[in-house]
Chains A and B, each alone.
Chain A
Amino acid sequence: MTAPLDPRTAEPQTRFVRKDLPHDSAAKHVAGTATYIDDVVEPVGTLHIAPGWARKSVRGKILRLDLNAVKAYPGVVEVLTAESIRGTNDCSSAFGDDPVLASDEVLFYGQVIFAVVAETRDAARKAAQQAVIEVEPITPIITAEDAVAADITVLPDYQFRRGSPETGMTAAERRLSGVMHIGGQEHFYLEGQIAMAVPQEDGGMFVYSSTQHPTEIQHTVAKVLGVPDALVTAEVRRMGGGFGGKESQANQWASLAALAAQVTCKPCKMRLDRDDDMIMTGKRHDFRVEWEIGHDSAGRIRAVEINFLGRCGYSADLSLGINDRTMFHADSSYFYPDAAIRSRRLKTDTCSNTAFRGFGGPQGMLAAERMIDAIAISLGMDPLEVRKLNFYDGERNLTPYGMPVEEFETLHELIQQLEASSDYWARRDAVRAFNAENAVLKKGLALTPVKFGISFTLKHLNQAGALVHLYTDGSIHLNHGGTEMGQGLYQKVAQVVADEFGVTMDKVRITATNTSKVPNTAPTAASSGTDLNAMAARNAASEIKSRLIAFLCEQHGCGAEAIHFGDNKVLVGDKSFSLGEIAKQAHMARIQMSHAGFYATPGITWDRESATGRPFFYFAYGGACSEVTIDTMTGEMTVDRVDILHDVGHSLNPAIDLGQIEGGFVQGMGWLTTEELVWDEHGRLRTHAPSTYKIPTASDVPEDFRVKLYESRGNPAETIYRSKAVGEPPLMLANSVFCAINDAVASLKPGVVPELNAPATPEAIMSAVHKIKRAPAARHGEPETS
């Protein structure tokens, strides 16, 4: 029953897998009864923590820290500083460069220097304002350009290189080059960072944390407290959104809550105020991208050189993997015969940029689309033609990092279908006609592909564990290392387990992710949650079931083929039992009905040192066609219509997958349009609240929004029920919106490549409009550089 499935053969019999079941907590969400960490009933005497920081300082040595007034504030129980830490003052994921509390020097605007523990949250916040802090200011390094000039990085440079791009560039008929700025993005999870720590006996600590990575919370807290990992348990039932922002960035708040609990011996809770959260935690990396491309007059790429200058912030955090993934996706879906893809991981005196849905991939892909658009515009071709001309195919299928794109046919077929269903060519004519008639308003159209590599590029993270118990009444306890942040992971895994045991969903009890149940887990990230955890859970369930089958064969003297699990029943020949009856019998016969399942993704061989091997198990594909209108007097923009076709293999739950696609697209659209992070000249973040940082609202979603799942023949890679990961890839569907805006600007002067930067705010659009209006007309037959 769990034999490998051939995607091209008949579908397996499933009752819940493939069904549009609602999110496991949907009824609780709408009723307000789903419990988030701030809703957990606090133990009596719980104290509250607020961060203390230097509101005027960006970077410099701490000259004076006077906390007397803080300590004297009514309700204050304790004030924590770096000296309060018994273990190690570091909450980084790997590189040891993230102090929990600053000790000698402030490294960025918003760094926490002390923490107030008080009887109420209000008292803690007010007390934190009473500190006198003097910092010796130094001129901070804020922009990518500042960091390049200072030649300062958090991690060594890295590159992929194939062939001789220099020769290829010289030999190419035409060359284009440009510089593009791609902005960062604030996660804006609706539930801000939060943790509550409850002291246990023997110095142990139980930590509720809104985290995508409970294992890292456990390890970090143990390190900060100076206790063994085994004394710390981290738990999370659900997050109110994560998006990568709670992968490493939850560590600090859990550490502070645990530290406060260790020092005061009382339960302690830390919930960040929204502004503090936005100021203190890392964001999507912003980039300066310098590109040069050589191509022929038909639009085919010959050579590519790209420098990705990524702004990492004050510490390394997850910047290694993120900037690598930018490089892995600098090809989008296009074959680069000769290529040099270089990356610098710049250190700036700003918050430490971190994981965000797509993990660097979106920026790499957007740069690729910019290059394709430049070729098309300079040749007077339609960008879609140039895209298709450069797609990976049967012969040209090797990525710059050496992994073959085996499933290129899916890409071709999907784009072809979308081209037809979106009526691309008729609408291209309509857009052209509109633009000919309108002087102020201009329309743009773009159809862009998504090809996203699935697997952690850090090989060891591609593993998962699950713990399944069958109780003697036939009810099932399900636990795994994946966390629920809204993506429906818990529900998908439960569907798989229900089908494995042949029971209805109500028999499967979904439980909170907890490091004492499943240890040493990977973060729920890299779109891998279902691929990894559903496999581990199925393995656990399947193992218990095989034991039951063996037991029944012996009891009834029959073969395994006579035993069938389904409809909450177990059929043994012509006899029918409830699963509970079988469980009771098995228990009496001393059969173990609990199993820890495990899964490790096969076939991943990437070696970063030599930049060889296979980093990804498979690719997920998608395509989007967007139409926009811009106002060339003000830069205002509306998205008029969006068509999406996205590949999720054989879906485990189409409704949940559709939700990921739509939500991912809209989040990506926000990144590329309205969401602008602004630092002032001193290096202070000025957009630290929803009043100034604008994520999309309901009216920003196009009225005409047509989203479909691609009719897949199933994932050729052997994944759970031949499904494909869906968390991150859809975000990059939004590249079509940005390219459509670029297309609208390009209509102002045919042949001239616009200099549109992301996000395309009204001001950014006007800037591109002004530049193109001032640019000399493109001379026929000569390439234009932007």
Chain B
Amino acid sequence: MRDTVRFLKGGEVVELTDVQPTETLLDYLRLRRRETGTKEGCGEGDCGACTVALGRLMDGKVVYQPVNSCIQLLGMIDGAEVVTVEDLRQDERLHPVQQAMVELHGSQCGFCTPGFIMTMFTLYHAEGQEKSRKTVTDWLAGNLCRCTGYRPIVDAALQSCFDAADDAFAWRANETREVLRALMDSRDIYIGNGDSFFASPASIDGLAALYGQHPDATLVAGATDVGLWITKHLSDLPKTIWLGRVNGLDRVEETPTGILIGATATYAASEPAMGRISPDLAELWRRIGSKQVRASGTIGGNIANGSPIGDTPPALIALGAALELQSADDSRTLALEDFFIDYGKQDREPGEFVTGLFVPRPDDNQVFRCYKISKRFDQDISSVMGAFLFTIVDGEIAAARIAYGGMAGTPKRAFAAETGLVGAVLDDPSTWSTGMKALLGDFTPLSDMRASAEYRMETARALLAKALMEASGTDPAQIRVLNTREGSHDRAA
């Protein structure tokens, strides 16, 4: 047992004994350390002004990822190197990414700039990135700038981020690795008392025991949702259990039949494996939140919270994903769609927690498509999300699994449409109409700030039509404004 949180900052190991259960990393930096370079823009992880880099050991190397410090709990940085804008300057010389931003006029009001600098710093240290505008805008989508129109920032990133890293962090990488290795241990962390604590168990058994003892505790994986309960709802969460150090819970395993995603595996960690199932999943994953959100957020947390902000569940449901749950004395598996009972209500018992998710790989005679409709392409939440898995036999749909988000209080399957499409002939669009019409009976969507009920209904139909068109051979380039399936459009046998 350890009653401290330890991390590396500015070349020194910091050990804190006074970590409050809901204290954020941003408040720690600005209020306790008085390091005010990191800014608060929105307090909900959507603008990126508070971005800092966290360096962690991955496969024996120090990997830097950007996170939104406003919704990162202080305790969650245990074992990491925390890099803020204050740490970049060396001997009064600007870091290459800082220098490029000055040279190319990448700042105007300057308030978002430290956040951009830190995301660029992580790109600077990322390996194997293709030097392109697309790569840069993917990395920067989580940093909002209201002044520049982004062009000079993107140019600065293109100019500075793609050469081999040659900065103080690269020079002392070996040393950093050793320090981080020494900080990694398998002791449980527990700071506080029985009524109020920040805890970080190191094993599944330890987690099960602690949660069994405190079923009223809040489980935190990436805090991209829980963080907002703190900063926006101003909730007191006196008992916080962070899952990030639970051994084995972050696994991503590819098997011949599918992918096993541990509950604390981040979106970033599962992105490559999901992309290998389908280019549509790669694109869906790319459009979840931002680099910052994907570096922290987990599918497990998103599902377990039953967050209405979830664009992956429809795709996972269409693919037939199964959820694994565990408690102190039991474990069970259930179909993902059965977990979502109603808006804000999930099939999770007190003391029970999600351990992982199994996503089956489609068969050769199956076509999978998913589409996300939102006001903005990047870092937005869908107004309608449609996912389709058609099993094709002899040019006919033998079975369909269709799931939508944004059409009901929970991600839901379109059973009527699924039934109506059985027997539809891909080459004969007139045979699609039974299924298309049946879809109308599957949902009664609501109007909200993202879209009206009418738009949702008609778009749900349009997405089904698109999926059928693509399944029957239409080139996605002809029916998608953002075509990410270039060279990979397929037609099932």
CA distance A674 to B145 in the complex (A): 15
CA distance A676 to B448 in the complex (A): 12
Q: A438 within 8 Å of B by Cβ?
A: yes
Interchain CB contact under 8 A, B44 and A689: yes
Specify which chain A residues have a CB less than 8 angstroms from the CB of B234 in the assembled complex.
Answer: 122, 125-126, 129
Q: Secondary structure at chain A's binding surface: helix, strand, loop or mixed?
A: loop
CA distance A264 to B253 in the complex (A): 60
Q: B114 within 8 Å of A by Cβ?
A: yes
Interchain CB contact under 8 A, B37 and A698: no
Q: B46 within 8 Å of A by Cβ?
A: yes
A766: which of B34, B39, B376, B458 is its contact (CB, 8 Å)?
B458
Interchain CB contact under 8 A, A27 and B94: yes
Specify which chain B residues have a CB less than 8 angstroms from the CB of A22 in the assembled complex.
Answer: 102-103, 105
Q: B80 within 8 Å of A by Cβ?
A: no
Interchain CB contact under 8 A, A191 and B111: yes
Specify which chain A residues have a CB less than 8 angstroms from the CB of B459 in the assembled complex.
Answer: 634-635, 762, 766
Min C-beta distance of A241 to chain B, whole Å: 4
Interchain CB contact under 8 A, A629 and B379: no
Specify which chain A residues have a CB less than 8 angstroms from the CB of B85 in the assembled complex.
Answer: 30-32
Q: B203 within 8 Å of A by Cβ?
A: no
Min C-beta distance of A482 to chain B, whole Å: 15
Q: A686 within 8 Å of B by Cβ?
A: yes
Specify which chain B residues have a CB less than 8 angstroms from the CB of A762 in the assembled complex.
Answer: 373-375, 383, 451, 455, 459
B375: which of A25, A656, A761 is its contact (CB, 8 Å)?
A761
Report if A699-B138 is in contact (Cβ < 8 Å); known contacts: A125-B234, A190-B145, A636-B481. yes
Interchain CB contact under 8 A, A28 and B462: no
Min C-beta distance of B471 to chain A, whole Å: 15
- Interface bits B145-163 vs A (CB < 8 Å: 1, else 0): 1111111111000000000
Q: B343 within 8 Å of A by Cβ?
A: no
- Interface bits B449-462 vs A (CB < 8 Å: 1, else 0): 11110010011001
Most interface-central of A33, A187, A242 (chain B CB within 10 A): A33
- Interface bits A258-301 vs B (CB < 8 Å: 1, else 0): 00000000000000011100000000000000000000000000
Interchain CB contact under 8 A, B450 and A241: no
Report if A691-B480 is in contact (Cβ < 8 Å); known contacts: A30-B113, A699-B137. no
Specify which chain A residues have a CB less than 8 angstroms from the CB of B448 in the assembled complex.
Answer: 678, 686
B149: which of A189, A692, A701 is its contact (CB, 8 Å)?
A701
Q: A705 within 8 Å of B by Cβ?
A: yes
Q: A75 within 8 Å of B by Cβ?
A: no
Interchain CB contact under 8 A, B144 and A30: no
Smallest CB-CB separation from A34: which chain B residue? B110
Query: Which residues between 257 and 271 of chain B lie within 8 Å of chain A, taking CB atoms?
Result: none
Specify which chain A residues have a CB less than 8 angstroms from the CB of B98 in the assembled complex.
Answer: 27, 30-31
Most interface-central of A664, A665, A698, A763 (chain B CB within 10 A): A698
Min C-beta distance of A730 to chain B, whole Å: 9
Specify which chain B residues have a CB less than 8 angstroms from the CB of A488 in the assembled complex.
Answer: 108
Q: B209 within 8 Å of A by Cβ?
A: no
Min C-beta distance of B449 to chain A, whole Å: 4
Interchain CB contact under 8 A, B146 and A188: yes
Most interface-central of B36, B37, B108, B232 (chain A CB within 10 A): B108
Interchain CB contact under 8 A, A241 and B113: no
Interchain CB contact under 8 A, A440 and B478: yes
Interchain CB contact under 8 A, B39 and A665: no
Min C-beta distance of B222 to chain A, whole Å: 16
Specify which chain A residues have a CB less than 8 angstroms from the CB of B371 in the assembled complex.
Answer: 634
Q: B81 within 8 Å of A by Cβ?
A: no
Interchain CB contact under 8 A, B42 and A689: yes
Interchain CB contact under 8 A, A23 and B452: no
Query: Which residues between 124 and 138 of chain A lie within 8 Å of chain B, taking CB atoms?
Result: 125-126, 129
Q: B302 within 8 Å of A by Cβ?
A: no
Q: A172 within 8 Å of B by Cβ?
A: no
CA distance A27 to B114 in the complex (A): 11
Report if A631-B42 is in contact (Cβ < 8 Å); known contacts: A30-B102, A190-B144. no
Specify which chain B residues have a CB less than 8 angstroms from the CB of A707 in the assembled complex.
Answer: 151
Interchain CB contact under 8 A, A274 and B42: yes
Interchain CB contact under 8 A, A191 and B109: yes
Min C-beta distance of A207 to chain B, whole Å: 20
Interchain CB contact under 8 A, A190 and B111: yes
Smallest CB-CB separation from A50: which chain B residue? B234
Smallest CB-CB separation from B117: which chain A residue? A30
Min C-beta distance of A114 to chain B, whole Å: 17
Report if A692-B449 is in contact (Cβ < 8 Å); known contacts: A31-B88, A631-B481. yes
CA distance A554 to B479 in the complex (A): 81
Q: B466 within 8 Å of A by Cβ?
A: yes
Specify which chain B residues have a CB less than 8 angstroms from the CB of A698 in the assembled complex.
Answer: 136-137, 140-141, 143, 145, 150, 153-154, 378
- Interface bits A736-770 vs B (CB < 8 Å: 1, else 0): 00000000000000000000000001110011001
Q: A687 within 8 Å of B by Cβ?
A: yes
Interchain CB contact under 8 A, A674 and B375: yes
Report if A441-B478 is in contact (Cβ < 8 Å); known contacts: A32-B114, A665-B149. yes
Q: B482 within 8 Å of A by Cβ?
A: yes
Q: A655 within 8 Å of B by Cβ?
A: yes
Q: B101 within 8 Å of A by Cβ?
A: yes
Report if A631-B480 is in contact (Cβ < 8 Å); known contacts: A27-B94, A763-B452. yes
Interchain CB contact under 8 A, B37 and A705: no
Q: A198 within 8 Å of B by Cβ?
A: no
Interchain CB contact under 8 A, B481 and A638: yes
Most interface-central of A125, A438, A487, A633 (chain B CB within 10 A): A633
CA distance A36 to B49 in the complex (A): 13
CA distance A485 to B111 in the complex (A): 10
Report if A29-B148 is in contact (Cβ < 8 Å); known contacts: A636-B482, A689-B46. no
Report if A31-B37 is in contact (Cβ < 8 Å); known contacts: A274-B42, A637-B481. yes
- Interface bits A200-227 vs B (CB < 8 Å: 1, else 0): 0000000000000000000000000000
A697: which of B88, B378, B482 is its contact (CB, 8 Å)?
B378
Specify which chain B residues have a CB less than 8 angstroms from the CB of A676 in the assembled complex.
Answer: 375, 449
CA distance A486 to B149 in the complex (A): 13
Interchain CB contact under 8 A, A32 and B36: yes
- Interface bits A475-494 vs B (CB < 8 Å: 1, else 0): 00000000001111000000
CA distance A187 to B110 in the complex (A): 16
Interchain CB contact under 8 A, A678 and B102: no
B378: which of A28, A242, A680, A699 is its contact (CB, 8 Å)?
A699
Q: B107 within 8 Å of A by Cβ?
A: yes
Min C-beta distance of B56 to chain A, whole Å: 23
Q: A519 within 8 Å of B by Cβ?
A: no
Q: A243 within 8 Å of B by Cβ?
A: yes
Q: A38 within 8 Å of B by Cβ?
A: yes
Most interface-central of A27, A29, A674 (chain B CB within 10 A): A29
B36: which of A39, A629, A690, A767 is its contact (CB, 8 Å)?
A39
Interchain CB contact under 8 A, B44 and A691: yes
Min C-beta distance of A762 to chain B, whole Å: 6
Q: A662 within 8 Å of B by Cβ?
A: yes
Interchain CB contact under 8 A, A659 and B108: yes
Q: A549 within 8 Å of B by Cβ?
A: no
CA distance A26 to B43 in the complex (A): 25
- Interface bits A688-710 vs B (CB < 8 Å: 1, else 0): 01111011111111010101000
Min C-beta distance of A317 to chain B, whole Å: 21
Specify which chain A residues have a CB less than 8 angstroms from the CB of B143 in the assembled complex.
Answer: 698
The 3 A-B pairs at the shortest CB distance, nearest first, are namely A32-B37, A240-B111, A486-B109
Additional A-B contacts beyond A440-B478, A486-B109 (9; CB < 8 A): A20-B105, A22-B105, A441-B478, A630-B481, A636-B377, A636-B481, A637-B481, A694-B374, A701-B151
Binding site for B on A (CB under 8 A): 20, 22-23, 25-36, 38-39, 41, 122, 125-126, 129, 187-192, 238-243, 273-275, 438, 440-441, 485-488, 629-631, 633-638, 655-656, 658-659, 662-667, 674, 676, 678, 680, 686-687, 689-692, 694-701, 703, 705, 707, 761-763, 766-767, 770
21 sampled A-B residue pairs with Cβ under 8 A? A25-B110, A31-B37, A189-B146, A190-B112, A190-B146, A240-B110, A274-B42, A438-B478, A633-B465, A633-B479, A634-B463, A663-B146, A695-B144, A696-B150, A698-B141, A699-B138, A699-B377, A700-B376, A701-B151, A762-B451, A767-B455
